[in-house]
Structure 1
Amino acid sequence: MTLIWRALGTLLLLVQAAFGSWWNLAAPRVTSESGNSSLETVTTLHKEYCHRLEFLVERQRQLCMLSDKMIQVLQTGAVQAVEECQHQFRHSRWNCSTNTNPNSTDIFGGVLKFKSRESAFVHALSSAALAHAVARACSRGELNECSCDARVRKRTPRHWQWGGCSEDIRYGEMFSRDFIDSKEDKNTDEGLMNLHNHEAGRRAVRGRMQRVCKCHGMSGSCSVRVCWRRLPQLRLVGDALTTRYEGASYVKRFTLQIVERKRGKNIRKLRPLHADMKKPNKTDLVFLEDSPDYCEPNDELGILGTRGRTCNRTSAGLDGCRLLCCGRGYQTRVRDHEEKCRCRFVWCCKVHCELCRSKRDHHVCN
């Protein structure tokens, strides 16, 4: 019991900000070690812990308390979202850096206060990562509320049959929608933007579900082909959302005046900034404001700037010195580089390599 309470307390100190979002759970993982504690005691501690997460709204606390494993699944989704964001933006001016200030109220600093395309990407990726994490936990039997997707077995394919454990992305989407969307106000421009991007993130996972098959039969024949549905790698989802980020739609702020009457209800919708721009569909990302300046450090927003970042002198892309260094120029430094070379196989069973040294140019933004 002491180990669990210590772990929960440590995590709580890291994420106890009253303002923030669920991805603040991207902190050192909660241990599941329970020592000699009874199940009743562990459950009580878990519910008390969920109640103490002040940045969660009431519905999110209720979902957190579904089981003692749920907080670990939520944390897994948050960690994966941050890690994937940092991979996708590793060459950008804002590289999805997390705030190291212990007094900060959000893991991304103040960057997400802007309703920018970066905020749109983070919201979409976070929603996708949570749906992904929940569906994966279901298939592994880590949650009592769900398991494998049995609905696919109702279909009757001609040349193969359903088997194995199909990962239940529908439940993952449902939980993600219930958990993440519950904090948004659909009557505000920001709420509409976030809800749209959340759904785009979940669709990015669902649209990339894979059918995996295995052959069965005598002597390697494929007389019986058994298939199941598998989640895509989150990297594929991140790649897809990055493409959507680059083509994100700039929509109107405050003047979301396309109002349709449907079944007696007024429905507010986002619309493009200009009439000649393409109307965003359900898989597109949308944003309401221009991005802040990521070139120079801004302590208030938690922006580190690009000084000292490594750039690619020959690239014309975002990682190129011209763009990444924001026109300030760069310095070229010569660094010693070591790598294994002239490797050979030695019977049996080792590989011997030499250590080669060379000098390489290293370009750093001014």
Structure 2
Amino acid sequence: MKLLWRVLCILVLLAQAVFGNWWNLAAPRSVSDSGNSSAETITTLHKENCHRLEFLVERQKQLCTLSDKMIQVLQTGAEQAIEECQYQFRNSRWNCSTVSSPNSTDIFGGVIRYKSREAAFVHALSAAALTHAVARACSRGELNECSCDSRVRKRTPRHWQWGGCSEDIRYGEMYSRDFIDSKEDKNTDEGIMNLHNHEAGRRAVRSRMQRVCKCHGMSGSCSVRVCWRRLPQLRAVGDALITRYEGASHVKVVERKRGKNIRKLRPLHADMKKPNKTDLVYLEDSPDYCEPNEELGILGTRGRTCNRTSVGLDGCRLLCCGRGYQTRVRDHEEKCRCRFVWCCRVICDLCRSKRDHHVCN
């Protein structure tokens, strides 16, 4: 029971971080620890806690109760999304930093309130990470409603056959779409933008599914190849989405009246390319990330380490926003002159050197 309580508390923080302000909730008020750890008791407790999450819409509460392992799966997706976001933005002015403030229910502060390209990336990555986590949990047998994807075996390839355990991307997409999209209002500009970016994130996972094969036959003849579909690494999805982020489309919402009002995303200017379903879209320019903004939870770039020789985003000229930088000399230690000693260990010397360290003013 104590483990479930800790998981719920962690999930509150992580879900707020990844899914914007979706789970603006307080942890369950009380959880009794009677010492009874039967499966039936844990399942009942899990369902009660799902329904106590008052800031979930009803559909999300229903999806939360599908399996007593679902909270752990959601937690995994949230952790991976935060880690991937911080990796992809590690050299940018906004480095996907998290803040802890009693005045904010969003671990990203107010940055995601802007309908900016950073918000577009976070929403796309959150949908992709949940798709990925659920599909992987299916193949591992952690969820009751899914397992391996048997539908791919209905195909009849000529020189190989389906087998093994294909990871169920369809169920992962369906759960992600049902859970994440249910909180968005498709009648608002922000809702239309977020729904588009959610789908772009899911498509980034699907399009990178890999076919993996193993040979069978006498003496390695590979007379039969058994193949299955495997999820990509989330890093590959993150790499794809950061490329989409860099080329994100600035759009506006327009109304088309054809019997009924239809609201669509269109390029901000007529000479811009119309975004497709895999592109990220945003409605507002990004806030200034150079200077601290306590209200938005922006930390600024003062004190950030920069690369003096780089002309990229991590370079001192761009990262320091024209304020200049200081160079400090720091002692650096690393293992060197390593050698193998029979048997069986490696011995290394400890080498010391001085290195320049550049810090933004």
Q: Which amino acid aligns with 1:7?
A: R
Alignment pair present for 1:161 and 2:156: no
Q: Which amino acid aligns with 2:265?
A: L
Rounded to whole Å, the distance in 2 between the matches of 1:36 and 1:226 is: 45
Where does residue 223 of structure 1 map in the other structure? 223
| Cα separation, partners in 2 of 1:230 and 1:43, compared to 1, 3 Å | same
Where does residue 254 of structure 2 map in the other structure? 256
Alignment pair present for 1:116 and 2:116: yes
Counterpart contact for 1:164–1:228, Cα < 8 Å: yes
Deviates more, 1:74-83 or 1:47-56: 47-56
Rounded to whole Å, the distance in 2 between the matches of 1:209 and 1:12 is: 28
Rounded to whole Å, the distance in 2 between the matches of 1:303 and 1:203 is: 30
Where does residue 86 of structure 2 map in the other structure? 86
Residue 42 of structure 1 and its aligned partner are, at CA, apart by: 1.0
Residue 40 of structure 1 and its aligned partner are, at CA, apart by: 2.1
Where does residue 287 of structure 1 map in the other structure? 282
Alignment pair present for 1:50 and 2:50: yes
Residue 341 of structure 1 and its aligned partner are, at CA, apart by: 1.0
Residue 21 of structure 1 and its aligned partner are, at CA, apart by: 3.4
Alignment pair present for 1:316 and 2:314: no
Deviations 1:265-316 (A, max 9, x none): 6432100000000000000000000000101111111111000000000001
- The counterpart of 1:353, out of the listed 348, 353, 356, is 348
Where does residue 191 of structure 1 map in the other structure? 191
Alignment pair present for 1:272 and 2:267: yes
Counterpart contact for 1:24–1:107, Cα < 8 Å: no
Deviates more, 1:265-274 or 1:195-204: 265-274
Query: Quick one: percent identity of the two aligned structures?
Result: 86
Q: How does 1:64-213 map to 2 (within 5 A)?
A: 64-213=64-213
Deviations 1:143-162 (A, max 9, x none): 01000000100111111111
Where does residue 7 of structure 1 map in the other structure? 6
Rounded to whole Å, the distance in 1 between the matches of 2:14 and 2:95 is: 22
Residue 351 of structure 1 and its aligned partner are, at CA, apart by: 1.6
Tell me the SS of whatever aligns to 1:270: strand
Residue 349 of structure 1 and its aligned partner are, at CA, apart by: 2.1
Q: Which amino acid aligns with 1:58?
A: E
Q: Which amino acid aligns with 2:182?
A: S
Counterpart contact for 1:23–1:78, Cα < 8 Å: no
Rounded to whole Å, the distance in 2 between the matches of 1:135 and 1:290 is: 34
Counterpart contact for 2:23–2:55, Cα < 8 Å: no
Where does residue 30 of structure 1 map in the other structure? none
Deviations 1:237-270 (A, max 9, x none): 0000000000000001xx522x264xx6643210
Q: Which amino acid aligns with 2:217?
A: G
Rounded to whole Å, the distance in 1 between the matches of 2:309 and 2:45 is: 56
Counterpart contact for 2:160–2:227, Cα < 8 Å: yes
Q: Which amino acid aligns with 2:107?
A: I
Deviations 1:83-106 (A, max 9, x none): 100000000000001112244211
Q: Which runs of 5+ in 1 are unaligned?
A: 28-32
Rounded to whole Å, the distance in 2 between the matches of 1:343 and 1:24 is: 52
Alignment pair present for 1:239 and 2:239: yes
Counterpart contact for 2:15–2:23, Cα < 8 Å: no
Rounded to whole Å, the distance in 2 between the matches of 1:146 and 1:14 is: 27
Residue 16 of structure 1 and its aligned partner are, at CA, apart by: 10
Tell me the SS of whatever aligns to 1:271: strand
TM-score normalised by L of structure 2: 0.92
RMSD (Å) for aligned C-alpha atoms? 2.3
Rounded to whole Å, the distance in 1 between the matches of 2:11 and 2:80 is: 19
Q: How does 1:318-337 map to 2 (within 5 A)?
A: 318-337=313-332
Counterpart contact for 1:23–1:107, Cα < 8 Å: no
Deviations 1:317-339 (A, max 9, x none): 10000000000000000001111
Counterpart contact for 1:88–1:242, Cα < 8 Å: yes
Q: Which runs of 5+ in 2 are unaligned?
A: 28-32
Counterpart contact for 2:14–2:79, Cα < 8 Å: no
| Cα separation, partners in 2 of 1:15 and 1:351, compared to 1, 3 Å | closer
Deviates more, 1:322-331 or 1:221-230: 221-230
Residue 36 of structure 1 and its aligned partner are, at CA, apart by: 4.0
Q: Which amino acid aligns with 1:48?
A: E
Rounded to whole Å, the distance in 2 between the matches of 1:24 and 1:215 is: 50
Rounded to whole Å, the distance in 2 between the matches of 1:125 and 1:233 is: 13
Rounded to whole Å, the distance in 1 between the matches of 2:211 and 2:8 is: 42
TM-score normalised by L of structure 1: 0.91
| Cα separation, partners in 2 of 1:331 and 1:355, compared to 1, 3 Å | same
Q: How does 1:22-41 map to 2 (within 5 A)?
A: 22=22, 36-41=36-41
- The counterpart of 1:298, out of the listed 269, 293, 296, is 293
Rounded to whole Å, the distance in 2 between the matches of 1:234 and 1:112 is: 22
Rounded to whole Å, the distance in 2 between the matches of 1:365 and 1:244 is: 28
